[in-house]
Amino acid sequence: MIADSDFWIVTIALGIGTFLIRFSFLGILGGRSLPGWLTLHLKYVGVAVFPALVMPQLVWPAATGGVTDPTRLIAAAATILVGLRFGVIWSIVAGMAALYSLQYIL
């Protein structure tokens, strides 16, 4: 276990670090327009980060001991297909419904 003092030091340090990261964009640049080249590159951040967060959980899920699960792959395909047609909220609903129903059936 971590000592109480170490826990609070780490918690406060992470809080300050998170505040400074957010303040750098909101406080310092909040009233100004970003340069065009930076705005162009920032459009791709979500597209780059989201697959990096999802793919390890899809291909090597901890719930199955790191073994690829066809149920999760089918649910991901359903999510993508519904998301392309109907948007984010319905893709989440379809992905959850596909995952839970396939887990129940199989």
* pLDDT tens for each residue of 5-14: 999 999 999 9
- Residue whose token pair is 């300050």: 16
* pLDDT tens for each residue of 39-97: 899 899 988 898 899 899 899 998 889 899 999 999 999 999 999 999 989 999 999 99
- Annotated domain spans of the chain: 1-32, 36-105
- From residue 94, give the alpha-carbon distance in Å to each of 17, 57, 61, 70, 79: 37, 18, 19, 16, 6
Check residue 4 and give its pLDDT: 92
Check residue 75 and give its pLDDT: 95
Mean pLDDT, residues 97-101: 96
Measured CA to CA, the distance from residue 51 to residue 92 in angstroms comes to 15
In degrees, rounded to 5, the angle at the alpha carbon of residue 23 between the alpha carbons of residues 19 and 25 is 135
Q: What is the pTM of this model?
A: 0.61
Measured CA to CA, the distance from residue 102 to residue 77 in angstroms comes to 13
